[in-house]
Amino acid sequence: MPQEQDRMETIVSLAKQRGFIFQSSELYGGMAGVYDLGPLGIELANNIKKQWWQKIVQERDDVYGLDSQILMASKIWEASGHVKSFVEPLTECKSCHKRFRADHLQEEGVTQCPECNGELTEPRQFNGMLQTHVGVTQEDSDSVYLRPETAQGIFVNFDNVQKAMRAKVPFGIAQIGKAFRNEITFRNFIFRVREFEQMELEFFVKPGTDDEWFAYWRTFCMDFLINDIGLKKEHLHFRDHEKAELCFYSKATTDIEFEYPFGVKELWGIANRQAYDLTQHSTYSGQKLEYLDPATGEKYIPFVIEPSVGVSRLMLAALLNAYTVIEGGRSMTTSANKDAEVVLKFHPSIAPVKAAIFPLSKKEPLTQIAHDICATLRKQWVIQYDESGSIGRRYRRQDEIGTPLCITVDFESVEDNKVTVRHRDTMEQERVAIDELKLYIQEKLQNFSS
Chain contacts with ligand GAP (rule: CB under 6 A): 149, 151, 181, 183, 192-193, 196, 198, 200, 266-269, 306, 308-310, 312-313
- Give 272's strand partners: 252, 305
Strands in 279-361 per DSSP E: 291-292, 299-300, 303-310, 323-326, 341-344, 355-359
In the complex, least distance from residue 137 CB atom to ligand GAP, rounded to whole angstroms: 33
In the complex, least distance from residue 190 CB atom to ligand GAP, rounded to whole angstroms: 7
- What's at 284, amino acid-wise? Y
- Judged by beta carbon, residue 350 or residue 370, the one nearer ligand GAP is 350
In the complex, least distance from residue 5 CB atom to ligand GAP, rounded to whole angstroms: 20
Across the chain, which distance is largest between two alpha carbons, in Å? Answer: 77
- Judged by beta carbon, residue 269 or residue 359, the one nearer ligand GAP is 269
- Judged by beta carbon, residue 181 or residue 418, the one nearer ligand GAP is 181
- Judged by beta carbon, residue 265 or residue 396, the one nearer ligand GAP is 265
CA quadruple 408, 410, 414, 418: dihedral sign:
negative
- Residue whose CB is nearest to ligand GAP in the complex, by number: 310
Using CA atoms, how far residue 367 sits from 115, 358, 360, 372, 386, in Å, is 55, 8, 8, 9, 10
Q: Buried b / exposed e across 111-127, counting CB within 10 Å, b at 16+?
A: eebbeeeeebeebeeeb
In the complex, least distance from residue 304 CB atom to ligand GAP, rounded to whole angstroms: 10
Q: Closest by alpha carbon to 320, among 228, 224, 230, 218? A: 230
Q: Closest by alpha carbon to 299, among 275, 315, 322? A: 275
- Judged by beta carbon, residue 51 or residue 403, the one nearer ligand GAP is 51
Whether 418 contacts 360, CB under 8 Å: no
In the complex, least distance from residue 283 CB atom to ligand GAP, rounded to whole angstroms: 19
In the complex, least distance from residue 222 CB atom to ligand GAP, rounded to whole angstroms: 14
Give the count of alpha carbons within 13 A of 80, CB side only.
21
In the complex, least distance from residue 22 CB atom to ligand GAP, rounded to whole angstroms: 17
- Judged by beta carbon, residue 311 or residue 383, the one nearer ligand GAP is 311
- Judged by beta carbon, residue 81 or residue 118, the one nearer ligand GAP is 81
In the complex, least distance from residue 235 CB atom to ligand GAP, rounded to whole angstroms: 16
Cite the DSSP H helix spans in 231-306: 276-285
In angstroms, rounded to a whole number, what is the distance separating the alpha carbons of residues 163 and 150? Answer: 21
Q: Closest by alpha carbon to 347, among 209, 446, 238? A: 446
- Judged by beta carbon, residue 254 or residue 384, the one nearer ligand GAP is 254
Secondary structure (H, E, C), 416-444 = HCEEEEEECCCCCEEEEEHHHHHHHHHHH
